[in-house]
Amino acid sequence: MVTYEHDVHFPSKRNERNRVLILPIIAVFLLVGGALYVTTAPQFGAAPDEASQEIFASSPQFRNGRFENRGNVSVDLKGGSMFKTLMEFITSADTKPAQPLPVAAEAQQAPHAIPDTAVRVTWFGHSAIFLELEGKRILIDPMLGPAASPLPIFGKRFALKDRIDMSRFSRIDAVIISHDHYDHLDYRSIRKLKKHVRHFYVPLGVGSHLRRWGVPAERITELDWWESASFDGIELTATPAQHFSGRGLSDRNSTLWASWVIRGNHGNIFFSGDGGYGPHFKEIGERFGPFDLTMMECGQYNEKWAKIHSMPEESVQAHIDLRGEIMMPIHWGAFQLAVHPWTEPAERAIAAAEERQVAIMTPLIGQPVLLGSEFPKRRWWEKGTAASASTNTTGTDLAMMHTRLKTAGSEK
């Protein structure tokens, strides 16, 4: 009887012990592997080194090795668990377009030149902007990649109906970056664009990512809030935003985030970057307004993170605070990063703009708009109103865009 018990219990206890040992080994392996991946894979970028941090120490935004919002507003998600939020992401309706999105016919060919006195703005979905001012070509938050995340399976770009001619990006005078999140600063886009770009203007610390990706340090200017840089008659000023930063596991707020004022002789433009509503918009408006055009973040909002992303109604209020003439909603139309229907940012922004008598423009992806001419107001996302784009439905994303850029530009 005793022997029998031995026979039965001993081996099973050993199995149990083995199992107990294997689980932590797998966990350690996954953790070490994951950490190794995050520290070595280039898309995660590089946090600023100690020498840079010493320079940041004089910034009013820098405390205890990290950047802070005014009033120390933080990201903390209120209400509901991560699991609940994840379930909302899976179950919410209409968060993605049912069909590939139309692309303006003009975007499918190289653009025609405009006089240096004209200002032209072209939206490429989300917050990617091509701005022509004083005869110069400026790219803002050029996220042209297929996925707004470090792993291509997450945050995929909405499919496009037509290709975009990339030759327009083969000679860029300045790239402006608002912050280092994946939907604004894309490793693949920077790698492909860098040889075509004269100079990069970024908030404090963001240059360390660019340097890791092979952009020479002398072609990067890092600015704190309220600091300006000039080139060829254009003044760029990094202005406050209420947001956060980080690309990896341990670099939260190690680089600064900003909105931007872009001022030339023939146009004064505001670009919001990302951020929640706050008194800083009024202050920027007083110091740098009025603006001919404001490009305002109005998508990817949620009550849980209302402090660090604006609701569309707040975006309209911010535009009024800024003393803007025409508002263009951005941060929508390319990626699903929140749980609202994908067209809701534009719809809510239009409704709020109508109520407040704000002029709002909603160009197609790739539709160039000359400031001072009639601006596009059509709800192109509604069924039956899309542009008469050609019918070949090749989803456009970075891979295709970059093939074009390579052949069009000087990159060898």
Least distance between Zn ion and beta carbon 243 (Å): 8
Q: Which residues pair with 89 in a beta bridge?
A: none
Q: Which is nearer to Zn ion, 224 or 274 (CB)?
A: 274
Output DSSP code: residue 143: -
Q: How far apart are CA 135 and CA 113, in angstroms?
A: 9
Q: Please list the alpha-helical segments (H only) found in 41-128.
A: 50-56, 82-91
Q: Exposed (0-12), middle (13-18) or buried (19+): which is 66, by Cβ within 10 Å?
A: middle
Here's the x/- map for Zn ion, 273-292, by CB under 5 A: it reads as -x------------------
Q: How far apart are CA 408 and CA 109, in angstroms?
A: 12
State which of positions 349-408 bind Zn ion (CB under 5 A).
Answer: none
State which of positions 214-243 bind Zn ion (CB under 5 A).
Answer: none
Note whether 106 and 121 are within 8 A (CB): no
Least distance between Zn ion and beta carbon 102 (Å): 23
Q: Which is nearer to Zn ion, 173 or 183 (CB)?
A: 183
Output DSSP code: residue 175: E
Token pair 């019918």 is found at 391
Least distance between Zn ion and beta carbon 176 (Å): 15
Least distance between Zn ion and beta carbon 213 (Å): 19
Q: Which is nearer to Zn ion, 132 or 274 (CB)?
A: 274
Strand order in the sheet with 136-140: 220-223, 197-203, 172-176, 136-140, 129-133, 120-123, 369-370
Least distance between Zn ion and beta carbon 401 (Å): 20
Phi/psi at 246 (nearest 5 deg)? 135, 140
State which of positions 61-100 bind Zn ion (CB under 5 A).
Answer: none
Site membership for Zn ion, residue 141 (CB under 5 A): no
Q: How far apart are CA 387 and CA 374, in angstroms?
A: 17
Between the CA of residue 140 and those of 121, 221, 259, 384, 404, what are the distances in Å?
Answer: 11, 14, 11, 31, 20
Note whether 314 and 349 are within 8 A (CB): no
Q: Which is nearer to Zn ion, 183 or 321 (CB)?
A: 183
Q: Which is nearer to Zn ion, 148 or 210 (CB)?
A: 148
Q: Which is nearer to Zn ion, 92 or 149 (CB)?
A: 149
Q: Which is nearer to Zn ion, 334 or 358 (CB)?
A: 334
Q: How far apart are CA 362 and CA 359, in angstroms?
A: 10
State which of positions 245-274 bind Zn ion (CB under 5 A).
Answer: 274
State which of positions 169-198 bind Zn ion (CB under 5 A).
Answer: 183
By rule CB under 5 A, what count of residues binds Zn ion? 2
Contact set with Zn ion (CB under 5 A): 183, 274
